[in-house]
Amino acid sequence: MACAFSPLDPLAPGHTLVVPTRHYGDVFDTPHDVLTTTMELVQRVAGAMKTALGASGVNILNASGPGSEQSVPHLHFHVVPRWLDDGISTWPAGRSEHELAGDPDARLAEFLARERRYHRS
């Protein structure tokens, strides 16, 4: 249900892409079981990077939806091995300028609580 391969232009030695074998555009339209299987492979690849490559950590990168800078319309996760002082940064350098009315944390918590009750029924 998922596969792993090296990208054409890796960010670091061992950089790997993990994708579901069937087409799904992004995290929003991927069925739960496919996402679970794909993330299990992400975890296996990350563990291999730590053990086989001596990585001290990994970055797992995904962009889903037009506001995320998603450039390939197929769900995929970049698993990038990292070492201390390796010279790259994958963390955003700035903050969003988008503003929302009210408390976004409270809105999310309320929505997730309602959704959880709905799924338990």
Name the catalytic one among 15, 23, 74, 76: 76
Q: Is 78 a catalytic residue?
A: no
Q: For the residues of the chain, what is the DSSP string, one character each?
A: -EEEE--SS-SSTT-EEEEESS---SGGGS-HHHHHHHHHHHHHHHHHHHHHH--SEEEEE---SGGGT--SSS--EEEEEE-TT-S---S-SS------SS-HHHHHHHHHHHHHHHHH-
Q: Which residues have a catalytic role annotated?
A: 76
